[in-house]
Amino acid sequence: MLASQKTTSLLTSLIILLGSFNLLSHAESVLSRATQENALTTAYGEAQRVAQQTVPGTPRSSRPPVESSFSGVVVSIQDGDTIGVLREIAGDKQEVRIRLYGIDCPEKSQPFGNRAKEFTSDLSWAKNVTVHVKDVDRYGRLVAEVILPDGRSLNQELVREGYAWWYQHFAPKNKELDSLQKEARKSKKGLWSIPNPTPPWDFRASRQHKNY
């Protein structure tokens, strides 16, 4: 009788143990699926966040800030307000595209468009710069202020010398760019040396209209 009770007790313990193991396996499976679904949701949300950016170089106040900073060497110049910086990511060096925040250079086919690109190259090419990220635009470019090795802001220098407009619509509170543009205009520097220069955003809009 005693042996029978011990056997029953052992079987009961074994059943409880197996049941706990099954519950644990089930819980781990559920947790794994939840983790995968959360990762997909996060990735999809980030893709939507980037896709909602409607204008290159434009921060959206409705989205959370993307403030961060890093240093890297400038390895390419696309135009006056867009450069490529070599950045170390997870031990691997990758070129990231930077759209200069708060300014808009003339398009390449506009007066001073090529000169703006040359100016950006002269100041930043092969230099180690500091990038202060403000946002990400719909093309995946980092919208940022770029600080040169001597401490000057590349964004500000372009406006100071008349090779870029203050992008007032998207950086309305930037008083420094406002002041620099007024000084450049008064001194007739760069694009301000020609009568009635066309802002690049108006130039792009008119060009798009002609394509319809």
Closest CA to 197 of 82, 101, 107: 107
Q: Which residues pair with 68 in a beta bridge?
A: 133
CA distances from 119 to 115, 158, 175 (A): 6, 8, 23
**Considering 49, 60, 97, 107, which one is annotated as catalytic?**
107
DSSP 164: S
Say whether 145 is catalytic.
no
Cα dihedral angle (138, 68, 160, 176), rounded to 10 degrees?
A: 110
Cβ-contact 143, 99 below 8 angstroms: yes
Cβ-contact 53, 138 below 8 angstroms: yes
**Considering 87, 141, 145, 161, which one is annotated as catalytic?**
141
Structure tokens at 168: 């007032």
Say whether 107 is catalytic.
yes
**Considering 28, 49, 67, 99, which one is annotated as catalytic?**
99
Active-site residues: which are they? 99, 107, 141
